[in-house]
């Protein structure tokens, strides 16, 4: 897709990712990588005694899946050689994601700033849905930067 065509999508939903299953192995690996071994994530027996009824994904695990979701969902812009996370204007964890749940990202392009030559910055409203639930796992306003051409 040409950059001008992408820019014309501001205000519209630009993609919905496939579903991603949250497994206990993923949660355990994330706990290992982040040194966050709170029992609600890694101890199914103890977590079963909480209001969650079992283990839940780390909020930051769910957030980290945005990278995979965006690759899956957003249209490719011609000439982009690299993209980076620039940050979040706001982000909230709304509902816990129980082990075995499936989540997906829904993306609405809020802004596309092309004022700098060779790059553009996007602001995207993101909702991570949990299959079969009314309330999402998280909502965020995500900023990304993409670079064009060989000099990325």
Q: Return per-residue pLDDT of the chain as tens, 152 residues.
A: 999 999 999 999 999 999 999 999 999 999 999 999 999 999 999 999 999 999 999 999 999 999 999 998 999 999 999 999 999 999 999 999 999 999 999 999 999 999 999 999 999 999 999 999 999 999 999 999 999 986 54
Q: What's the pLDDT at 150?
A: 66
Q: Mapping DSSP to helix (H, G, I), strand (E, B) and coil, where does residue 25 land? A: helix
126, 106 in Cβ contact below 8 A? yes
Q: What's the pLDDT at 149?
A: 84
CA atoms within 13 Å, Cβ hemisphere of 35 = 0
Q: Mapping DSSP to helix (H, G, I), strand (E, B) and coil, where does residue 11 land? A: coil
Kindly list the structural domains of the chain, giving each domain's residue range(s) and its CATH number in brackets, ordered by start: 3-21+59-148 (3.10.129.10)
Q: Mapping DSSP to helix (H, G, I), strand (E, B) and coil, where does residue 146 land? A: strand
pTM comes to 0.93
Round to whole Å and give the CA distance between 97 and 121: 30
Alpha helices, DSSP H, located in 48-122:
59-64, 66-73
């Amino acid at each position: 897709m040409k950059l001008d065509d992408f820019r014309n999508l501001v205000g519209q939903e630009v993609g919905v990712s496939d579903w991603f299953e949250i497994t206990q192995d993923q949660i355990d690996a994330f706990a290992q990588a982040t040194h966050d071994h709170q029992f609600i994530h890694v101890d199914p027996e103890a977590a079963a005694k909480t209001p969650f009824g079992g283990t839940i994904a780390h909020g930051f695990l769910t957030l980290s899946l945005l990278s995979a979701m965006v690759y899956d969902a957003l249209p490719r812009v011609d000439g982009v050689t690299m993209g980076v996370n620039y940050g979040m204007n706001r982000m909230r964890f709304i509902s816990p994601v129980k082990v075995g749940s499936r989540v997906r990202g829904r993306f609405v392009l809020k802004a596309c700033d092309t004022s700098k030559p060779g790059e553009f910055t996007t602001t995207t409203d993101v909702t991570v849905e949990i299959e079969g639930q009314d309330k999402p796992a998280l909502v965020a306003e995500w900023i990304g930067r993409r670079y064009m051409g060989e000099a990325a």
